[in-house]
A = this chain, B = another copy of it.
Amino acid sequence: MTLPEVDLADPALLSPLRWEAETGRLWLLDQRCLPAQERWLPLARYTEVVRAISDMAVRGAPAIGIAAAYGVVLGAREGAPLPEVMAALSRTRPTAVNLFWALRRMEAVARAHGGDAAALEREALAIHREDAAACLAMGRHGAPLLPPGTVLTHCNAGALATGGYGTALGVIRAAVAAGLPLRVLATETRPFLQGARLTCWELQKSGIDVTLITDGMAGHLMARGEVQAVLVGADRIARSGDVANKIGTYSLAVLAREHGLPFYVAAPRSTLDLATARGADIPIEERASEEVTHLGGVPVAPPGVPARHPAFDVTPARLVAAIITEAGVARPPYEESLPRLLGVN
């Protein structure tokens, strides 16, 4: 598997992370402020990275993994004990497996080079660069799957969720670049509104035709023939092909099948968790209920009413038409196709 060459300084990548080698700082595009404000946070301490991941200043499984890798570099530069740094970073969010994958890579380098910060920095940059390259490769492999018409996507599986270019949105970018007449329907994705705030922002910036809907409108528009395919990212994919992704994804997959529409997932190998057999074994993060009962600090429900907040759900493999990776397109049965495609066991 050869990945495309990527220059991380290319602004067309729309990467939400920038490593400033001179000062040893990680610049992070604060996604909580978008679209109102393009605010970049300079992070110089690993604890700041821990907080940025927990508080969702950075989100999206691949971007979380990259941020954690840079967090280890910051920890090493501060002289913090690396096991402590790794532990703190690994406690931030339980579902995105890219976090643990990136930390394992960093740990192996730390072990091989005795915690040398320069070696760790090279590895973090490689993780970042490889992720953006994987997105470009996913675009190349996935674009031919998309039919002309309207693709519905959920949450933000775009440049902002990755090292650049995007997983699901990368495939859409590649299809549009190849001349496919494509419109995007973006679900707003409550409670964090990543679709409204982030997907609309980056597709508009890239000149791609995007229309916003609420999460509840998807079924209605499918029934009226206004959707031709559904394409999402993933936070963790089990060996079975079951896909953990942003809450609401499973509902969309059921609706897609009801209407005979293909449901595609785009994700790099860092999202693949072959050690987890089935979706039921994936830990689903429960976040604070205030994130549901309040919107921008303003309550939308009466005080005292409890709210649930599972941040992810699991879409069973039987509803997934194909998984698009940097190494090619996997089809069911995924237990065979995924390891074969990615050359892993």
Contacts and interface: CB of A to CB of B under 8 A. Distances in A.
Interface of A: 35-36, 185, 187-191, 193, 196-197, 200-201, 204, 210-221, 223, 247-248, 250-251, 254-255, 258, 289, 292-293, 295-296, 298-302, 304-308, 310, 313-314
A223 B197 contact: no
B308 A197 contact: no
B221 A308 contact: yes
Nearest to A289: B212
15 contacts: A185-B308, A188-B292, A190-B190, A197-B300, A201-B302, A211-B305, A211-B306, A214-B215, A214-B292, A217-B313, A219-B248, A220-B250, A223-B250, A251-B255, A296-B296
Choose among A193, A201, A217, A247 the residue with the greatest number of B CB atoms under 10 Å from its CB. A217
A192 to B, nearest CB: 10
Contacts of A212: 289, 292-293, 301, 305-308
B308 A35 contact: no
B211 A307 contact: yes
A217 to B, nearest CB: 6
A210 B305 contact: yes
A306 to B, nearest CB: 5
A219 B295 contact: no
A297 to B, nearest CB: 11
A211 B306 CA distance: 5
Given A190-B215, A204-B304, A213-B307, 15 more contacts: A35-B301, A36-B299, A191-B214, A200-B301, A200-B302, A211-B305, A214-B215, A215-B216, A215-B248, A217-B310, A218-B251, A220-B251, A220-B314, A223-B250, A251-B255
A76 B243 CA distance: 61
Contacts of A218: 251
A196 B305 CA distance: 9
Contact of A216 (B190, B204, B296, B302): B190
Contacts of A302: 35, 200-201, 204
Main secondary structure of the interface of A (DSSP, over half): mixed
A313 B196 CA distance: 21
A32 to B, nearest CB: 12
Contacts of A298: 296
A197 to B, nearest CB: 6
Contacts of A36: 299
A191 B190 CA distance: 10
Nearest to A195: B301
B247 A214 contact: yes
Nearest to A36: B299
A251 B250 CA distance: 12
B196 A300 contact: yes
Nearest to A257: B258
Contacts of A251: 216, 218-220, 251, 255
A35 to B, nearest CB: 4
A217 B301 contact: no
A217 B292 CA distance: 11
Contacts of A216: 187, 189-190, 215, 247-248, 251
Contacts of A299: 35-36
Contacts of A223: 250, 313-314
A209 B254 CA distance: 29
